[in-house]
Amino acid sequence: METEAGRKIAVIVVAAGSGERLGRGVPKARVPLGGELMLTHALRGVLAADIASHICVALPDGDAELQRLCGVLAAETSAAGGPEITVVDGGSSRAESVRSALAALAPEVSAVVIHDAARALTPPEVFHRIAASLAEGALAVIPALAVVDTIKTVENSDPGTASIAPERVRCTPARDQLRAVQTPQGFDLATLRRAHEQAALLTQSQAAEVTDDAMLVEAMGVAVYVVKGSARSLKITTPTDLLLAEALLEGPLAPRWVEG
């Protein structure tokens, strides 16, 4: 799809994570959810949103099953006149997986939306809010929700007090200013490429601290705008998340689901 400003949008789906915390012994994108693989849900969600002229999927290196899945969906989508779907091998960090996909985008693309396959149930309206902000001229835009828990930052206890508890509270940020950030995150392509060129110079431990793309763009002083996310965009990380996702998808909760 072209935004109103005439930009062509690519969607990058990062699906190269190991999924260790789900404990299924297979990459997370291959975990079954409601009778389909997690990646199938994620890609069908991107297709339903209909914002992309190109979809690039970062897969676990050499994963033949997921390559086949993407190939089938690419053929089906192409036959229906939909966007091109291509795959790349992901890297050892999320940021590396994003960089592999950024290097493989169609040349006419000028805006990019990065999405975690693990947020497999993200509804189309979240993609539409991101695309609308890009069309209005945002260089960076992310979806987020207000947090319900009180959040504290902590530090290690002193050696003399470590027997009481390993950590102690440093401070309590004002909750009304905190947001839980999700994907899809939208960017002007040149801006995100610049941010990732700088991130490629980070040490391995610094790279491990890069948990989303927006933080790289923030570090360059670029304004990152925030639109409303969705509780359906939960990141399926633990067995409890998987239960909740199954319930959202087809369980008795689904008809009673009301977006907050």
Q: Which residues of this protein are in contact with ligand C5P, per CB under 6 A?
A: 14-17, 28-29, 58, 90-94, 97, 116-118
Tell me how far, at minimum, the Cβ of 47 lies from ligand C5P, in Å. Answer: 17
The backbone torsions φ and ψ at residue 132, rounded to the nearest 5 degrees and listed phi first, read: -65, -40
> Please, which residue, 3 or 195, has the CB nearer to ligand C5P?
195
In the block, tokens 């909750």 appear at: 175
> Please, which residue, 136 or 209, has the CB nearer to ligand C5P?
209
Residues 6+ apart with CB under 8 A from 34: 41, 245, 246, 249, 250
Tell me how far, at minimum, the Cβ of 7 lies from ligand C5P, in Å. Answer: 24
> Please, which residue, 84 or 89, has the CB nearer to ligand C5P?
89
Long-range contact list for 22-25, CB < 8 A, 24+ apart? 22/236, 22/237, 22/238, 22/239, 22/242, 23/239
Tell me how far, at minimum, the Cβ of 96 lies from ligand C5P, in Å. Answer: 6
> Please, which residue, 4 or 61, has the CB nearer to ligand C5P?
61
Contact 148, 247 (CB under 8 A): no
Residue 28 identity: K
> Please, which residue, 92 or 172, has the CB nearer to ligand C5P?
92
In the block, tokens 């933080």 appear at: 215
Closest-by-Cβ residue to ligand C5P is 17
Tell me how far, at minimum, the Cβ of 88 lies from ligand C5P, in Å. Answer: 10
Tell me how far, at minimum, the Cβ of 209 lies from ligand C5P, in Å. Answer: 11
Tell me how far, at minimum, the Cβ of 168 lies from ligand C5P, in Å. Answer: 27
Tell me how far, at minimum, the Cβ of 42 lies from ligand C5P, in Å. Answer: 8
> Please, which residue, 100 or 110, has the CB nearer to ligand C5P?
100
The residue among 117, 170, 146, 159 whose CA lies nearest residue 231 is 146
Contact 57, 70 (CB under 8 A): yes
Structure token pair of residue 74: 């690419």
> Please, which residue, 83 or 91, has the CB nearer to ligand C5P?
91
Whole-angstrom distance, CA of residue 164 vs CA of residue 172: 21
Whole-angstrom distance, CA of residue 112 vs CA of residue 100: 14
Whole-angstrom distance, CA of residue 143 vs CA of residue 137: 16
